[in-house]
Amino acid sequence: MPRSDLAQLDLSPQHLALMRDILARHVPDAEVWAYGSRVHGTAHEGSDLDLVLRHPEDLGKDVANWPALQEALQASRLPMLVDVHLWSRLPASFHPEIERSYVVLQGGCGRAASLKAASGGGSRES
């Protein structure tokens, strides 16, 4: 699974910090991946941010509290639509598409995502 460097995510440092705070408050145990145009480098000003929530112990289970996360994201100061999906509810045929290129925003079981790429690349904080 090619994991992309967090620095590749098309999201300002302020919005990334806000996103991570919201995730930590509402789904602290979930593994959260960003995927889509904001990871691929094809986003434009009106692009949404695609997220998928994964249960860290059983990918077939829903992540608890995800409806509250959706509400918090809608009420937040984030300037883009955030589209939240559950890995457990996506068609299995869609999983490989996400696995081709994603950024981990939050590790499972409350672990913050590393700023290092899985390939061992350097970290970059902005």
Question: CB–CB of 119/103 below 8 Å?
Answer: no
Q: Distance (Å, rounded) from C-alpha 103 to C-alpha 33?
A: 5
Residues marked as catalytic: 48, 50
Residues, the chain: 126
Q: Could you give phi then psi for residue 77, rounded to 5 degrees?
A: -90, 10
